[in-house]
Amino acid sequence: MRHSTSILIHVAAITLLLAACGGSSSPTGPGDPPVGNASAFTQLAAGWGMTCGLNSTGKAYCWGNNLHGESGVGQGVAAAVTPTAVVGGRSYTQITAGFNHVCALDAAGAAWCWGQNISGSAGIGVTNQDVFTPTQVVGGQTFVEIKAGGYTTCARTAAGAAWCWGRGTSGELGNGTTTASNVPVQVIGGLSFTKLGRGSYHSCGITAAGDAYCWGRNGGGSLGNGTTTDATAGPVAVSGGLKFVSIAGGQDHTCALTAAGKAYCWGGNISGGLGDGTTTGRLVPTAVSGNLTLSAINLSSYQSCGISGSNTAYCWGGNRTAQLGDGSTTDRAVPTLVAGNHGLVFVAMGTEHGCGITNAGEAWCWGTNGNAELGIGLYDGQLRTSPVKVQMPN
């Protein structure tokens, strides 16, 4: 089974999207969903077999798999086939998803997590105990950004310090060990980050100077430092001297955007996930083909998707379960248009599906529906090779 992360990256100079969390930000500008419109989504996050989103009031909804509590709707509740309110009635500002867990920030900056708690990925002080409702991360830190991926979560404070919790086998916690932690531990090295990115088994950050650093598993060269050696002693600098404003990770690859919106990717290139027209792995940043200007990009296992400034979604990489949404199941080694011309301003990638939001707050999803993760009222296991409209909450 392939795993992914839902991790979004943003260009600060482009005001189409505001920075948020696995995957999340809010569309802004003319045509925004009106405040208080509960049927309009502003953020999405996708994992394995499930999708979650926030509406314009910050209320969280999830749909799809709930085996480990990842839908946040309570223990013993079957998979929801349409968006269902996460219990607790809390409002959140950001939401992000790993493989089978979800985390969110409230307005005060407190982190809340739910779902599968392998290696302590929920950060609540216990390990391997499923969490069926949102539970506050221990430690008392407040954060301005949160990113989940795989079985690890990382978050950033207003001062730029990164804290991580969960799986640490490959050094993805960044604290100089390979030991899991069920509470937040601080990333070492004295770096101050302005953006974070999470892959399945590695983590990355961008400094105010635009320098990229990564830590954790280096399968295929996902750390971008010219080697395939895991970084277990803390963050290592990405090679090449490029300056980035945001960064995101997949299973064994990483992509980042420059201030001009140019995308560069590196690492394993299975199925063309680097978007450079080949399936050759790259140990250092390599330009994505097509000379696109992107305002956001999101990665999953072996796929990458981005939003152009014209509200057009492009995807590339593995397409076995129609994750690219281009009307086919054919792998693509270069950016390819998502079908339907829906004017997407946001995209979130799950393990075997993808979803996007229009400027009006409509959600559209594509790919497999094996766990009702498309939110269309069906639990049929069928592929949708093109986007289908999510049944919006009342």
**Domains of the chain, CATH where assigned:** 7-389 (2.130.10.30)
> How many angstroms from the chain centroid is the CA of residue 391?
22
pLDDT digits (tens, 9 = 90+) for 305-360: 999 988 999 999 999 999 999 999 999 999 999 999 999 999 999 999 999 999 99
Q: Is the pLDDT of residue 27 over 70?
A: no
Across residues 99-128, what is the average pLDDT?
97
Q: Is the pLDDT of residue 275 over 80?
A: yes
pLDDT reported for residue 4: 39
Q: Is the pLDDT of residue 290 over 70?
A: yes
pLDDT reported for residue 37: 57
C-alpha span between 167 and 180 (Å, rounded): 5
Listed in sequence order, the residues at least 6 apart from 276 whose beta carbon sits closer than 8 Å to its beta carbon are 265, 269, 282, 286, 287, 288, 289, 333, 334
pLDDT reported for residue 309: 85
Q: Is the pLDDT of residue 143 over 50?
A: yes
pLDDT reported for residue 352: 97
pLDDT digits (tens, 9 = 90+) for 167-185: 999 999 999 999 999 999 9
pLDDT digits (tens, 9 = 90+) for 240-249: 999 999 999 9
pLDDT reported for residue 12: 34
Q: How would you write the chain as a 3-class SS string?
A: CCCCCEEEEECCCCCCECCCCCCCCCECCCCCCCCCCCCCEEEEEECCCEEEEEECCCEEEEEECCCCCCCCCCCCCCCEEEEEECCCCCEEEEEEECCCEEEEEECCCCEEEEECCHHHCCCCCCCCCCEEEEEECCCCCCCCEEEEECCEEEEECCCCCEEEEECCCCCCCCCCCCCCEEEEEECCCCCCEEEEEECCCEEEEEECCCCEEEEECCHHHCCCCCCCCCEEEEEEECCCCCCCCEEEECCCEEEEECCCCCEEEEECCHHHCCCCCCCCCEEEEEECCCCCCEEEEEECCCEEEEEECCCCEEEEECCCCCCCCCCCCCCEEEEEECCCCCCEEEEEECCCEEEEEECCCCEEEEEECCCCCCCCCCCCCCEEEEEEECCCCC
Q: What is the dihedral of CA 175, 9, 267, 219, to 10 degrees?
A: 40
pLDDT digits (tens, 9 = 90+) for 365-386: 999 999 999 999 999 999 999 9
Residue whose C-alpha is closest to residue 297's, from 102, 17, 4, 2: 17
Query: Cα dihedral sign for 205, 209, 211, 213?
Result: negative
Q: What is the dihedral of CA 52, 54, 59, 61, to 10 degrees?
A: -20
